[in-house]
Amino acid sequence: MYEVLTLIELHNIDCMEAMREMPDKAFDLAIVDPPYGIGEDKTKRPSRGRTETTAHTAKEWDRKPERPEYFIELRRVSKNQIIWGANHFISRIPFDSSCWLVWNKKTAGNTADCELAWTSFPTAVRRFDFLWEGFWQEDMMHKEQRIHPTQKPVKLYEWILTNYAKPGDRILDTHGGSFSLAIACDILGYDLTGYEIDTEYYADAKKRLEEHKRQGKMVFV
């Protein structure tokens, strides 16, 4: 038993500026969660059952999806891509895929029942079931603090990495948000380069990652 050391690089800059400086296929896999353009940058999120409402600073980042130029650059700098929310902006990618990922959030109808991710992999559709609504989470024994209005669970990214990344792959995250992906990469031993343009989100997410690292998580390999 020993601690797997990973290289997690987080940057508080515009991912488009960063990608323009990258060589072709610099990353093995991009796992990204760009704006969907559906107004999820609101200040509070509703919950069901036991009341828990998380306050967030009002923002303007989810008024419209990323421009087509973003997806062109993303495909240029990465060998494979997993893009959350692509059902909202598939015309901007725009390539067919046989492999969409379905995250079943097991909700009671207050929010979308599922979220979809387009992938560049030529395989079948796959589903991940994990409760994530308001106060309630699938793993209440290890309940995650919600620091971002569109935060995804670390377990979701662990599942993605386990099924779609190979040992030694370099991972890219262009819209870090809460940086759940960074924590998953640290747990499973993947190098990650992540970007988050918002200073407030970046500071909160970096603190979250540092707190995770201080736990000194050990893994068996």
CATH number, residue 101: 3.40.50.150
Percent of the chain past pLDDT 90, that is, above it, reads: 68
Residue 130 lies in a domain: yes
Residue 20 lies in a domain: yes
Q: Residue by residue, what is the 3-state secondary structure of the chain?
A: CECCCCCEEEECCCHHHHHHCCCCCCEEEEEECCCCCCCCCCCECCCCCCCCCCECCCCCCCCCCCCHHHHHHHHHHEEEEEEECHHHCHHHCCCCCCCEEEEECCCCCCCCCEEEEEECCCCCCEEEECCEECCEECCHHHCCCCCCCCCCCHHHHHHHHHHHCCCCCEEEECCCCCCHHHHHHHHHCCEEEEECCCHHHHHHHHHHHHHHHHCCCCECC
Residue 220 lies in a domain: no
Residue 1 lies in a domain: no
Residue 219 lies in a domain: no
Q: Which is higher by pLDDT, 38 or 77?
A: 77
Instruction: State yes or no: pLDDT of 121 exceeds 70.
Output: yes
**Range 120-125, long-range pairs (CB < 8 A, 24+ positions):** 120/75, 120/80, 120/81, 120/82, 120/95, 121/80, 121/97, 121/164, 122/98, 123/98, 123/99, 124/98, 124/99, 125/98, 125/99, 125/100, 125/101
152-188 pLDDT, tens digit per residue, is 999 999 999 999 999 999 999 999 999 999 999 999 9
Q: Which of 147, 161, 171, 170 is nearest to 219 (CA)?
A: 161
Residue 136's pLDDT band (cuts 50, 70, 90): confident
Number of domains in the chain: 1
Residue 2 lies in a domain: no
Average pLDDT of the residues in 14-31:
98
Question: Residue 58 is part of which domain span?
Answer: 8-214
Residue 21 lies in a domain: yes
Cα separation, 188 vs 186, in Å, equals: 6
Q: Could you tell me the pTM of the whole model?
A: 0.87
Residue 155 lies in a domain: yes
